[in-house]
């Protein structure tokens, strides 16, 4: 392998610089950011689930406090999480198609199309989620 | 509007000290950034160092970060930047030798890794010419336009976090030769481009394509390489090469 000068290294913050960058770069950077958020949520989810070890009543009390109060403000984070997952999923499908050689000539159009579809689905998800927790329209 | 441009240039002297120098360049004396730098060199500060040669976007020497983006100084029209204050820095992801001059040796070392030349099983000892149709030529023509300026390497965010990554230009060069119907070296190049520091490091940000002054599309080449590498790897499992 080529001997590389470490002075070239910009660090992991290199991908978080958006000035003068194109649409593909935004797709890439937010894909990473959303991936990190999903990873964080996964471990948070495990932590909440681990309360099952403390008994059914304890676990139910925690879930109820998050869903109906006094900590129901966490629901806002749930909607943000849904946004991140829908974005990441749609862009992930686009990347997988591109890597198989599908739609490479139109990858920007594909990105916009997939994200529009994802946001419509997110809207439907949010609507039914709010119905589920009892917020009517 | 003022009648002068203000060139703010990132400098690095022989002791390694980094600082910015600002110069005022009359608008009626220059049209490109390179002309502005030459005006400074000839009239204001002879110590300013930068690399250039052809002045017509062929040699690939004068790449630098102009207004936050990797560009060729010779083909960047100052007026097109639509501002009077122009910030100029050396290309990112390269070791700075002095002022705007960077060490491009690591880039060419990576370039050599992908064997950027026609490889033949007959070792070039063919007795009749190798025909090529216009369609076959257009398979690789876009990638043959690369002038090895290295702007794509400066724009690639993966190059910034992993300097071992081969990078857009070398991978595009690999595809340029694999896509050439006269070449039979794909099986050798795949070992390099499909390795740990090859195509799998690319996350398709597409900045390499955005900044290329010659319209080469390295991100497209990398996706094509992935598919070709997969085909060759699968074929090798079943005994083919």
Which pLDDT belongs to residue A72?
75
A69-to-A86, B139, B234 alpha-carbon distances in Å = 26, 62, 55
A3 touches chain B (CB under 8 A): yes
A136 touches chain B (CB under 8 A): no
Residues B78 and B123 grouped into a single domain: no
Query: Per the structure, how many domains does chain B have?
Result: 2
**Res. A135: pLDDT tops 80:** no
Q: CA–CA separation, A74 vs A54, rounded Å? A: 22
A57-to-A67, A71, A72, B70 alpha-carbon distances in Å = 15, 17, 18, 60
CATH of the domain at B34: 3.10.20.30
Q: Between A1, A27, A107, which is nearest B164 by CB?
A: A1
Residues B126 and B228 grouped into a single domain: yes
Contacts of B219 in chain A (CB under 8 A): 24
Which residues make Cβ contacts (< 8 Å) with residue A33, sequence separation at least 6? A16
Contact A22, B105 (CB under 8 A): no
Element (H, E) at B241: none
CATH of the domain at B209: 1.10.1060.10
Residues B16 and B81 grouped into a single domain: yes
**Res. A9: pLDDT tops 70:** no
Range of the structural domain that residue B33 is part of: 4-102
Residue where a domain terminates, one of B50, B71, B102: B102
Q: CA–CA separation, B76 vs B88, rounded Å? A: 12
Residues B40 and B84 grouped into a single domain: yes
CB contact under 8 A, B95 and A3: no
CB contact under 8 A, A22 and B210: yes
Q: Where does the pLDDT of residue A107 fall: very low under 50, low under 70, confident under 90, or very high at 90 and above?
A: confident
- Nearest Cα to Cα of residue B207 among B217, B198, B199: B217
* Per-residue three-class SS string for chain A: CCCCCHHHCCCHHHHHCCCCCCHHHHHHHHHHHHHHHHHHHHHHHHHHHHHHHHCHHHHHHHHHHHHHCCCCCHHHHHHHHHHHHHHHHHHHHHHHHHHCCCCHHHHHHHHHHHHHHHHHHHHHHHHHHHHHCCCCC
Q: CA–CA separation, A80 vs A88, rounded Å? A: 12
- Nearest Cα to Cα of residue B7 among B73, B70, B96, B52: B73
Q: Where does the pLDDT of residue B222 fall: very low under 50, low under 70, confident under 90, or very high at 90 and above?
A: very high
CB contact under 8 A, A19 and B68: yes
A124 touches chain B (CB under 8 A): no
Looking at this predicted complex, what is its ipTM?
Answer: 0.73
Which residues make Cβ contacts (< 8 Å) with residue B56, sequence separation at least 6? B74, B75
A10 touches chain B (CB under 8 A): yes
CB contact under 8 A, B157 and A15: yes
Percent of chain A with pLDDT over 70: 88
Residues B120 and B232 grouped into a single domain: yes
Read off the pLDDT of residues B157-207 as tens digits, 9 standing for 90 and up: 888 888 899 999 999 999 999 999 999 999 899 889 988 889 989 988 889
Residues B190 and B146 grouped into a single domain: yes
Residues B131 and B176 grouped into a single domain: yes
Residues B167 and B152 grouped into a single domain: yes
Q: CA–CA separation, B170 vs B201, rounded Å? A: 13
Residues B112 and B195 grouped into a single domain: yes
């Amino acid at each position: 392998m080529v001997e590389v000068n470490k002075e070239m290294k910009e660090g992991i913050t290199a991908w978080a610089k958006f000035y003068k960058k194109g649409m593909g770069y935004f797709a890439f950077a937010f894909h990473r950011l959303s991936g990190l958020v999903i990873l964080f949520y996964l471990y948070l989810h495990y932590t909440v689930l681990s309360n099952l070890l403390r008994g059914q009543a304890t676990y139910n009390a925690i879930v109820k406090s998050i869903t109906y109060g006094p900590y129901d403000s966490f629901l806002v984070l749930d909607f943000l999480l849904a946004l991140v997952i829908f974005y990441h999923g749609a862009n992930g499908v686009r990347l997988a198609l591109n890597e198989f050689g599908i739609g490479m000539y139109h990858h920007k159009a594909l990105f916009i199309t997939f994200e529009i579809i994802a946001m419509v689905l997110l809207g439907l998800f949010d609507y039914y989620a709010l119905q589920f927790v009892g917020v009517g329209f | 509007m003022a009648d002068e441009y203000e060139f703010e240039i990132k400098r690095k002297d022989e002791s390694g000290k980094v600082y910015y120098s600002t110069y005022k360049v009359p608008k009626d004396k220059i049209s490109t950034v390179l002309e502005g730098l030459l005006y400074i060199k000839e009239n204001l500060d002879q110590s300013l160092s930068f690399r250039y040669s052809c002045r017509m976007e062929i040699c690939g020497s004068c790449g630098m970060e102009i207004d936050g983006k990797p560009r060729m100084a010779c083909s960047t029209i100052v007026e097109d930047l639509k501002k009077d204050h122009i910030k100029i820095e050396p290309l990112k992801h390269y070791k700075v030798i002095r002022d705007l001059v960077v060490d491009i040796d690591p880039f060419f070392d990576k370039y050599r890794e992908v064997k950027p030349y026609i490889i033949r099983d007959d070792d070039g000892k063919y007795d009749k010419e190798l025909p090529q149709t216009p369609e076959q030529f257009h398979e690789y023509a876009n990638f043959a336009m690369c002038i090895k300026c290295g702007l794509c390497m400066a724009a690639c965010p993966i190059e910034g976090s992993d300097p071992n990554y081969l990078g857009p230009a070398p991978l595009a060069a690999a595809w340029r030769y694999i896509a050439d119907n006269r070449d039979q070296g794909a099986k050798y190049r795949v070992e390099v481009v499909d390795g740990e520091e090859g195509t799998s490091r690319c996350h398709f940000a597409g900045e390499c394509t955005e900044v290329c002054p010659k319209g080469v599309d390295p991100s497209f080449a990398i996706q094509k390489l992935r598919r070709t590498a997969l085909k060759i790897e699968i074929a090798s499992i079943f005994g083919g090469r």
